[in-house]
Amino acid sequence: MASPPTATLAERLMIYLTTPIYYPNDRPHIGTAYTTLVADAVARYWRLVGEEVYSVTGTDEHGLKIAREAEEQGMAPQEWVDHIVERFHETWALLDMSFDDFIRTTEDRHRATVQAMFQKWHQAGDTYLGRYEGWYCVRCEAYYTESELIDGNCPWHGTPVEIHAEENWFFRLSKYAQPLLDHIAANPEFVVPETRRNEVIGFIEQGLDDISISRATLKWGIPLPWDEAQVAYVWFDALINYVSAAGYSDDPDRFTRQWPAWAHLVGKDIIRFHAIFWPAMLMSAGLPLPRQVAVHGHLLVGGEKLSKSNATQILPQELVETVGTDGYRHHFLRDVSFGPDSNFSWEGMVDRYNADLANDLGNLANRVLHLAEMFRDGKVPARADHGRPEEQALAAAAAEAAGSLRHYEQFKTKQAIDGVWGLFAAANGFVEATEPWHLDSRDPDRLDEVLNAALEALRVGAVLVSPSMPGAARRLWDKLGLPGRPDDGPLAETATFGVFPESTVSKGDPLFPRIEG
Ligand code: MSP
């Protein structure tokens, strides 16, 4: 069987980028917020470049876990999820997330898509009725074989698993083992980073068993179109969100432009669902596969998993109170490498804030705006001398910093921001070297040029931090008295170091007040 093609960037019309859809019963913590934050920064980068973007997040609302919780709360499941989904909207708003869509698996557009996809597998002969008997972790909503359990418990959660035995529908996953291996071999970028790709290959090579995709004993789910007594297994329901949100059942024109996805961002714990089940589900339905599944590691606290029980489940709100939304975003995007596990530390976050934001960027902005107000009443003429070596070095640093944003295309947020900080280092060096505070009496024309170049560096800087710190970028832009917004783009024009235009700048409050002790 030939594996379907993965569209290349040049062929596609839209950048379609997804996060996993979260179980709404857990509050969004710094771990779940991490995936969402990376997706948001990358989506903002693509918009800045001028690409058409569709970025989606959402909630995974069916399944046994939610059904049981609703029962404990004495609520109908729908009522319960309507109530708890709000926590996600609140947290994403607090963190300045800019999604184009928020999909809930209880929506009609999703239900219709799930039923259509199940029907396709059924018609393709990829489903059959069988008897399932085995271990189930309700927290993972996943089946495990005896050998996968650790001391008889869930390998992820370390909590007891349940024995589940019932007659339900199976999907012929085994049939797709070879096509999946062929696809991965032909598309080395399908799963990144490489270590995760090898992990996926290892899984498949061990052999894939067919998998149970429906539940007869659960009511809270989407009924199968040909057997209404069974509902879809929650993972086979949830993964389909990626095509539902692309308009599969309610906007076919958009679907054609949007599918296949440019990238699915996922954490390492859900890799086999995304890199094995999902592509097999798409192959069976005759749909092309996403270009990429990008897998990141987990955030740990003191070397441990985030968990409610040992108070390591830190909520974004607690951190935003201290470092603000932009300080939060900057820290996670600059200090966490996409791929390996990473330890969160409060001190690390505060040090990062003071060093990068209060000092490098905040002081630079304060200083330059202060000088512009003091010597020129905030009105700096559009006078420049780009022939000078100091200005040339600054312009070169701006070009290099703008080029570093390309790292966002590989989710290398750290490298992208490291590059941007090169511009702030150069701008601080420029101010030190040209000593504008001595120039007004000695050489007023040179003062105009120096202030102009320093303001221009801040303007380009505001453009370049707009994917990582959209709020701070806008505040800086306003201080610079510029029209429009720093993220208006296209990047190739707005990040080009030129002559700072006539405008009235104002220092106002510090951009990033220092955090003491
Ligand atoms: N509902 C499923 C996903 C369905 S996607 C079709 C699910 N939800 S989840 O809420 O449990 O987790 C969602 C994402 O959060 C996963 O990518 C997971 O890796 C990520 N994280 C959960 N804890 C995390 C950390 N401590 N660190 C980083 N990411 C973490 O699984």
**Cβ-Cβ contacts under 8 Å for 55 (sequence gap 6 or more):** 16, 17, 18, 39, 40, 43, 98, 99, 100, 101
Same domain? For 227 and 123 the reply is yes
Q: Examine residue 285 and state whether it is found in any structural domain, yes or no.
A: yes
Minimum CA distance residue for ligand 1 atom 8: 22
Q: Examine residue 363 and state whether it is found in any structural domain, yes or no.
A: yes
Same domain? For 416 and 468 the reply is yes
Minimum CA distance residue for ligand 1 atom 7: 22
Q: Examine residue 81 and state whether it is found in any structural domain, yes or no.
A: yes
Q: Give tens-digit pLDDT for 335-351.
A: 999 999 999 999 999 99
- Report DSSP letters for 344-389, one per residue: E-HHHHHHHIIIIIIIIIIIHHHHHHHHHHHHHTTB--S---TTSH
Same domain? For 282 and 350 the reply is no
Residue keyed to tokens 């800019």: 98
Rounded to whole angstroms, the maximal C-alpha distance in the chain is: 89
Number of domains present in the structure of the chain: 2
The pLDDT value given to residue 510: 97
- Residue 133's nearest CA partner among 212, 217, 62 is 212
The pLDDT value given to residue 3: 42
Cβ 6 vs Cβ 259: under 8 Å: no
What mean pLDDT do residues 33-38 have?
97
Residue keyed to tokens 């609520």: 75
How far apart are the CA of 277 and the centre of ligand 1, in A?
A: 17
Q: Residue 150 has what DSSP assignment?
A: B
Q: Examine residue 7 and state whether it is found in any structural domain, yes or no.
A: no
The reply to whether ligand 1 has any atom less than 6 angstroms from the CB of 342 is: no
Same domain? For 85 and 200 the reply is yes
Higher pLDDT, 427 or 133: 427
Q: Examine residue 342 and state whether it is found in any structural domain, yes or no.
A: yes
What mean pLDDT do residues 136-144 have?
87
The pLDDT value given to residue 311: 57
The pLDDT value given to residue 12: 55
SS3 405: helix
Q: Give tens-digit pLDDT for 60-70.
A: 999 988 999 99
Pairing of the two strands 227-232 and 214-215: antiparallel
Residue 131 dihedral angles phi and psi, to the nearest 5°: -110, 125
The pLDDT value given to residue 2: 41
- Report DSSP letters for 86-139, one per residue: HHHHHHHHHTT---SEEEETTSHHHHHHHHHHHHHHHHTT-EEEEEEEEEEETT
Ligand 1 pocket test, pick from 32, 271, 313 with the greatest ligand atom count within 8 Å of Cβ, gives 32
Cβ 462 vs Cβ 473: under 8 Å: yes
Same domain? For 55 and 181 the reply is yes
Does residue 313 surpass a pLDDT of 90? Answer: no
**Which ligand 1 atom sits closest to the C-alpha of 306?**
26
* Rg (alpha carbons) of the chain, rounded to whole number: 26
Q: What distance in Å separates the CA atoms of residue 335 and residue 329, rounded to the nearest whole number?
A: 10
Cβ 467 vs Cβ 498: under 8 Å: no
Mean pLDDT of the chain: 94
Any idea of the CA torsion for 379, 381, 382, 386, to the nearest 10 degrees? -120
How far apart are the CA of 18 and the centre of ligand 1, in A?
A: 13
Q: Give tens-digit pLDDT for 352-392.
A: 999 999 999 999 999 999 999 999 999 999 999 999 999 99
Cis peptide before 155 (omega within 30 of 0): no
Q: Examine residue 5 and state whether it is found in any structural domain, yes or no.
A: no
Same domain? For 229 and 341 the reply is no
Q: What distance in Å separates the CA atoms of residue 440 and residue 260, rounded to the nearest whole number?
A: 59
Same domain? For 198 and 90 the reply is yes
Q: Examine residue 1 and state whether it is found in any structural domain, yes or no.
A: no
The reply to whether ligand 1 has any atom less than 6 angstroms from the CB of 272 is: no
The pLDDT value given to residue 308: 59
Domain of residue 31, CATH code: 3.40.50.620
Cβ 506 vs Cβ 369: under 8 Å: yes
Q: Examine residue 514 and state whether it is found in any structural domain, yes or no.
A: no
The pLDDT value given to residue 101: 98
Same domain? For 483 and 372 the reply is yes
Minimum CA distance residue for ligand 1 atom 19: 267
The pLDDT value given to residue 306: 74
The pLDDT value given to residue 108: 98
Does residue 53 surpass a pLDDT of 90? Answer: yes
Cβ 261 vs Cβ 241: under 8 Å: no
Same domain? For 196 and 94 the reply is yes
Same domain? For 421 and 462 the reply is yes
Q: Give tens-digit pLDDT for 316-341.
A: 999 999 999 999 999 999 999 999 99
**Which ligand 1 atom sits closest to the C-alpha of 22?**
10
Q: Which of 279, 296, 313 is where one domain is finished?
A: 296
Same domain? For 205 and 258 the reply is yes
The reply to whether ligand 1 has any atom less than 6 angstroms from the CB of 242 is: no
The pLDDT value given to residue 133: 86
Same domain? For 156 and 41 the reply is yes
Q: Give tens-digit pLDDT for 502-517.
A: 999 999 999 999 999 7
**Which ligand 1 atom sits closest to the C-alpha of 265?**
17
Does residue 205 surpass a pLDDT of 70? Answer: yes
- Counting Cα atoms < 13 Å in the Cβ hemisphere of 243 gives 27
The pLDDT value given to residue 157: 87
Q: Residue 153 has what DSSP assignment?
A: B
Ligand 1 pocket test, pick from 21, 26, 35 with the greatest ligand atom count within 8 Å of Cβ, gives 35
Both tokens assigned to 57: 């997040």
Does residue 261 surpass a pLDDT of 90? Answer: yes
Domain of residue 358, CATH code: 1.10.730.10
The reply to whether ligand 1 has any atom less than 6 angstroms from the CB of 39 is: no
How far apart are the CA of 22 and the centre of ligand 1, in A?
A: 6
How far apart are the CA of 409 and the centre of ligand 1, in A?
A: 22
- Report DSSP letters for 292-347, one per residue: -EEEE--EEETTB---GGGT----HHHHHHHHHHHHHHHHHHHHS-SSS-EEE-HH
Q: Give tens-digit pLDDT for 11-32.
A: 557 999 999 999 998 889 999 9
Domain that includes residue 98, residue range: 15-296
Residue 79 identity (one-letter amino acid): E
The pLDDT value given to residue 141: 85
Residue 183 identity (one-letter amino acid): H
